[in-house]
Amino acid sequence: MNRLSAILAAGLLAGCMGGEEKADVKVEPFGTTKSSEAASLYTIEGKDGLKIVVSDFGGRLVKCFAPDRSGNMADVTLGWNSVKEYEELGFSMGTLIGRYGNRIRDGRFTLDGKTYQLPINETTPAPRNCNLHSGPDGWDAKVWKAKPFAKGDVKGLELTYVDKGGENGFPGDVTAKVTYSVLPGNIWRVEYELTSDKPTVVNPTHHSYWNLAGESSGDVLEQHLQIFADKFTKTDDGLIPVEDVPVAGTGFDFTYLRPIGYKMDWMKAQDWLKPMDNWYDHNFVLRGKPGEMKQAVEMFDPKSGRVLEIWTTEPCMQMYGAQNMDIGENKNMPSKTPGKNLCQYAGIALETQHYPDSPNHPEFPSTVLRPGETFRSVTEYRFKTR
């Protein structure tokens, strides 16, 4: 059976979960990775209009179509049209991140008395010296095993990957299952389930960028954001946590719904933010208890009326404001729309997760996973209008 036949067969036959319903998920080729692995695209349409297009290459959210207040659909997530672009242009665009998301100081941590050295893949601008998102060959670079499913009004995709011990220097074979479900009410649910055969550390997340006006519509500075957090984590020049501080009185105060760019003058005036290009690349400490479902974000586009709520069981959320797009070596970065480029602040990444550098901070919620335990986490992206 050739590759295309296999893909079509998978779309028609594989993916029954908890019943005998056909998965009803469109499957098509997406190209080949630089390691010669074939990637596919899976299109999942919900009963109320939400449509997502996902690749098994890194579990990427390639497209996400949501209705505006008049029912008009637009693709509200940043991304590209080919595997090659994802590999060459970076930015962790739309991908699963693991086994450990965010930064680990000097790429080093100690667990049960043994020190592990990870690749150092972020060194500029100085003095950054850390492991970022597990290294240069993390989950984003892998083609995952994908199984479409349908059960009642829920359609989705189950993604699995075995992250072998020693990959990027981490101990233990980690078996990862990530389930994407499109639910009634225009909800995209992401469920993580991880086990390991040896003690290790895990911190999976999803790195989608959002622009509720449409992926090539310009910047998001006038779109509104509320973050349900009273503290953010201040960092050193290497973007490694120093301490949690109140958001009150700072440009990090999103405790009320306000334009993302409203405090730009304050951000530009802060010398201590220069290593972050005087913009957002920070951890917010969410209200509520780790493991309990709680609202993390409301994002609102006044022009289209689209609303995105993010709910999660995670204790934190990293906000990255795409300040490095369309500058320097990233100039003229393409969008998915022919003839249009992405601009600076073209979207915003809102990554639900644990604290950065948690293995080196015993005061943070633990990210240690031991044999016999299961790491579970849920994040929901709920699309509405007003």
Q: Find the CATH number of the domain harbouring 7.
A: 2.70.98.10
Average pLDDT, the chain: 93
Q: How far is CA 273 from CA 50, 213, 288, 305, in A?
A: 37, 28, 28, 32
Alpha-carbon gap, residue 153 to 331, rounded angstroms: 43
Does the annotation mark 207 as catalytic?
yes
pLDDT at 171: 98
Same structural domain, 97 and 198: yes
Contact call for residues 190 and 178 (beta carbons, < 8 A): yes
Question: For residue 3, is pLDDT > 70?
Answer: no
Alpha-carbon gap, residue 54 to 179, rounded angstroms: 12
Residue keyed to tokens 């290497």: 238
**Is the residue at 138 inside a domain?**
yes
Residue 14: pLDDT band (50, 70, 90) is very low
Question: How many CA within 13 A on the CB side of residue 260?
Answer: 29
With vertex at residue 107, the alpha carbon angle to CA 86 and CA 201, rounded to the nearest 5 degrees, is: 85
Closest CA to 103 of 359, 345, 285, 316: 359
Does the annotation mark 351 as catalytic?
yes
**Is the residue at 123 inside a domain?**
yes
222-244 pLDDT, tens per residue? 999 999 999 999 999 999 999 99
Residue 24: pLDDT band (50, 70, 90) is confident
> Average pLDDT in the 259-266 region?
98
Same structural domain, 59 and 141: yes
Same structural domain, 291 and 379: no
Same structural domain, 53 and 8: yes
Same structural domain, 281 and 369: no
> Average pLDDT in the 240-269 region?
98
Residue from 133, 207, 224, 354 carrying the catalytic annotation: 207
Contact call for residues 330 and 324 (beta carbons, < 8 A): yes
89-135 pLDDT, tens per residue? 999 999 999 999 999 999 999 999 999 999 999 998 889 999 999 99
What is the total count of domains within the chain?
2
What pTM value is reported for the model?
A: 0.93
**Is the residue at 128 inside a domain?**
yes
Contact call for residues 186 and 370 (beta carbons, < 8 A): no
pLDDT at 125: 87
> Average pLDDT in the 307-327 region?
97
pLDDT at 7: 38
Residue 139, classed as helix, strand or coil, is helix
Residue keyed to tokens 């405090």: 263
pLDDT at 19: 39
Residue from 298, 314, 351, 380 carrying the catalytic annotation: 351
Same structural domain, 196 and 230: no
**Is the residue at 356 inside a domain?**
no
Per-residue DSSP letter, 366: P
> Average pLDDT in the 173-200 region?
98
**Is the residue at 374 inside a domain?**
yes
Same structural domain, 371 and 284: no
First to last CA, the chain: 49
Same structural domain, 345 and 367: no
**Is the residue at 355 inside a domain?**
no
Question: For residue 11, is pLDDT > 60?
Answer: no
pLDDT at 57: 98
Residue 86 C-alpha from the chain's centroid: 14
pLDDT at 22: 59
pLDDT at 277: 92
Tokens of 325: 């797009």
Question: For residue 15, is pLDDT > 50?
Answer: no
pLDDT at 6: 38
Residue 309, classed as helix, strand or coil, is strand
274-300 pLDDT, tens per residue? 989 999 999 999 999 999 999 999 999
Same structural domain, 204 and 313: no
Host domain of residue 258: 216-235+244-350
48-96 pLDDT, tens per residue? 999 999 999 999 999 999 999 999 999 999 999 999 999 999 999 999 9
**Is the residue at 189 inside a domain?**
yes
